[in-house]
């Protein structure tokens, strides 16, 4: 990570004039927004207003108006799990570099020319668009949603049809779920899967998977954070099979997770 004193005012201003936002530069260099603003001030670089920032890049601001395709349902589910919205009308996804394919797919889906920020260990795309974030807010996808999100509410508010629900849930699973293969000391292969989220979200998955599996509390506190777990080859196959049945209708999903599922 770059030390604050090593951040060049000239370099920061060049990145900013290329079109990157203050937040994107701070992520790229690993320093705070305050440091970036200070360097821009030293370089006498005038900062953009919010309206100017919105005009800088194009995106499909009506993408989420109607969740009427498998890809839209999947992406909405993924955002519920591993994306975020801010009070500054930002929609962002930041993932490990090994999963940058998801970030670029997100970019293509929104038809934005905003650049993806690639660092040594991560890939990030942040879109600032009031119309997009307002629509997501209408679906109850709000800032700091991790302890309040109820995917049943999102499904209802977004009017996601029954046939698209598996795509939505697979998107959530790819964002905040996992499938695991372990080998015991005796050489036996065991499979399990888990999904993290609020109690309400975990409950929805459990009921959708015909009440197999069980809940555990993620941390020893009173916060609304849980893990829903399924153990056993047959049970995992039964549950995840309800999601992967629509995989051929998607233009993207995490193949590394699906490959483990195929071993079942």
Q: d(Cα 19, Cα 65) in Å, to the nearest integer?
A: 27
pLDDT recorded at residue 105:
98
pLDDT for position 174: 98
CATH code for the domain of 133: 3.10.28.10
Output the pLDDT for position 52.
55
- Angle between the 22-29 and 9-17 helix axes, to the nearest 10 degrees? 130
Does 38 share its domain with 96? no
Distance CA(254)–CA(105), nearest Å, equals 11
Residues 6+ apart with CB under 8 A from 188: none
Rounded CA-CA distance 44/131 in Å is 32
User: Is 155 a domain residue?
Assistant: no
pLDDT confidence of residue 150? 97
Residues 143 and 182 in one domain: no
Looking only at the bridges linking them, the beta strands covering 177-183 and 83-85 are unpaired
Alpha helices per DSSP H over 48-163: 50-56, 70-82, 100-110, 130-138, 151-157
Question: Would you say residue 167 lies in a domain?
Answer: no
Does residue 59 sit in the same domain as residue 142? yes
3-state secondary structure of 148: coil
Of the candidates 94, 132, 130, 97, which has an alpha carbon nearest to the alpha carbon of residue 111?
Answer: 132
85 neighbors 137 (Cβ within 8 angstroms):
yes
Residue 157 lies in a domain: no
Rounded Cα gap, residues 257 and 99, in angstroms: 12
CB atoms within 10 A of CB 106: 23
Task: State residue 136's pLDDT score.
Answer: 97
Cβ contacts of 163 within 8 Å, gap of 6 or more: 246
Q: Where are the alpha helices (DSSP H) in 58-98?
A: 70-82
Provide the 10 A C-beta neighbour count for residue 195: 25
- How many domains does the chain divide into? 3
Identify the pLDDT of residue 50.
63
Q: What is the C-alpha R_g of the chain?
A: 20
**Does residue 102 share a domain with residue 67?**
yes
> What pLDDT does residue 229 have?
96
| Strands 189-197 and 177-183, bridge-based pairing | antiparallel
Q: Please indicate, yes or no, if residue 208 is contained in any of the structural domains.
A: yes
166, part of any domain: no
Q: Are residues 206 and 240 in the same domain?
A: yes
> Cα-flanking dihedrals φ and ψ of residue 156, to 5°?
-70, -45
Question: Tell me, what's the pLDDT at 7?
Answer: 76
Shared domain check, 104 and 125: yes
Q: Is residue 202 located within the same domain as residue 231?
A: yes
Could you tell me if 52 and 24 are in contact, meaning their C-beta atoms sit under 8 angstroms apart?
Answer: no
d(CA 85, CA 79): 9
Domain shared by 229 and 249, yes or no: yes
* Report field, pTM of the whole predicted structure over 0.85: no
pLDDT in tens, the chain (264 residues): 455 667 788 888 878 876 678 888 888 888 888 888 888 888 888 776 665 555 566 778 899 999 999 999 999 999 999 999 999 899 999 999 999 999 999 999 999 988 999 988 999 999 988 889 999 999 999 999 999 999 999 999 999 999 999 999 999 999 999 999 999 888 889 999 999 999 999 999 999 999 999 988 888 888 999 999 999 999 999 999 999 999 999 999 999 999 999 999
In the three-class reduction of DSSP (H, G, I as helix; E, B as strand; rest coil), residue 43 is classed as: coil
Within-domain flag for 168? no
Q: Give me the domain span that covers residue 252.
A: 174-261
Please indicate, yes or no, if residue 219 is contained in any of the structural domains: yes
pLDDT of the residue at 100: 96
97 and 25 in a single domain? The answer is: no
32 lies in the same domain as 63: no
Predicted local distance difference test score (pLDDT) of residue 5 = 63
Kindly state whether residues 144 and 196 are assigned to the same domain: no
Which of 95, 114, 148 corresponds to the end of one domain?
Answer: 148
Q: Is residue 154 one of the residues assigned to a domain?
A: no
- 18 with 60, same domain: the answer is no
């Amino acid at each position: 990570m770059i030390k604050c004193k090593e951040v060049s005012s000239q370099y920061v201003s060049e990145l900013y004039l290329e079109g990157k936002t203050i937040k994107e530069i701070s992520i790229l260099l690993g320093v705070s927004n305050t440091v970036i603003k200070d360097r821009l001030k030293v370089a006498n670089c005038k900062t953009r207003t919010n309206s100017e920032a919105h005009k800088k890049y194009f995106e499909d601001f009506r993408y989420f108006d109607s969740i009427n395709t498998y890809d839209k349902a999947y992406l909405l589910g993924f955002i519920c799990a591993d994306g975020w919205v801010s009070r500054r009308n930002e929609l962002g996804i930041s993932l490990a570099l090994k999963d940058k394919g998801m970030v670029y797919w997100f970019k293509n889906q929104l038809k934005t020319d905003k650049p993806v920020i690639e660092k040594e260990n991560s890939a990030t795309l942040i879109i600032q668009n009031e119309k997009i974030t307002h629509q997501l807010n209408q679906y109850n996808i709000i800032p700091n949603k991790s302890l309040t999100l109820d995917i049943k509410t999102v499904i209802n508010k977004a009017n996601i049809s029954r046939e698209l629900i598996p795509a939505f849930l697979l998107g959530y699973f790819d964002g905040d779920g996992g499938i695991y293969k372990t080998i015991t000391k005796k050489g036996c292969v065991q499979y399990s899967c888990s999904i993290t989220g609020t109690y309400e979200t975990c409950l929805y998955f459990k009921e959708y998977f015909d009440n197999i599996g069980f809940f555990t509390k993620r941390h020893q506190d009173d916060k609304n954070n849980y893990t829903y777990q399924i153990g056993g080859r047959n049970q995992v196959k039964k549950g995840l099979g309800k999601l992967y049945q629509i995989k051929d209708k998607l233009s993207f999903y995490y193949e590394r997770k699906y490959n483990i599922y195929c071993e079942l």
